[in-house]
Amino acid sequence: MAAINGFLLILKNTATFAFTRGLGGIFNLLGKLTVCVLNCTACYFMIVYWPEVYDRIQSPIGPLVVVFAISYCIATLFMTIYTTTATCMLHCLFADVDICNQMNYD
């Protein structure tokens, strides 16, 4: 029964949930890319300014691709928590608004 109530709550406020999902997706992507670019920048400077490492590799592109891929995976895990939290807070808000409307609270 609770699943039906949650579904009906989303159905009644479809536009708001869709807008939040779209806006959350944009911030999600920006957050992931920011983390990946900052990690790759730090890795690049570590490679270039660490003489033992710089002398042993021919090109920093390979390690930077690996750092980007690992950073993207970890950033995805953390940003998924952000997205879930934002959706949960929106769900709680609309549940509270519906309960207050049913009980004639202002």
Which domain does 39 fall in, by range?
A: 2-102
pTM of the predicted model as reported, rounded to 2 decimal places:
0.76
DSSP string, 60-99: SHHHHHHHHHHHHHHHHHHHHHHHHHHHHHHHHHHHHHHH
Assigned token pair, 86: 């934002």
pLDDT of residue 65: 97
CA-CA distances (angstroms) from residue 17 to 4, 9, 30, 40? Answer: 16, 10, 20, 34
Assigned token pair, 96: 């509270």
Count: domains in the chain: 1
pLDDT in tens, the chain (106 residues): 667 877 888 888 888 888 888 888 899 999 999 999 999 999 999 999 998 888 898 899 999 999 999 999 999 999 998 888 888 888 899 889 888 988 988 7
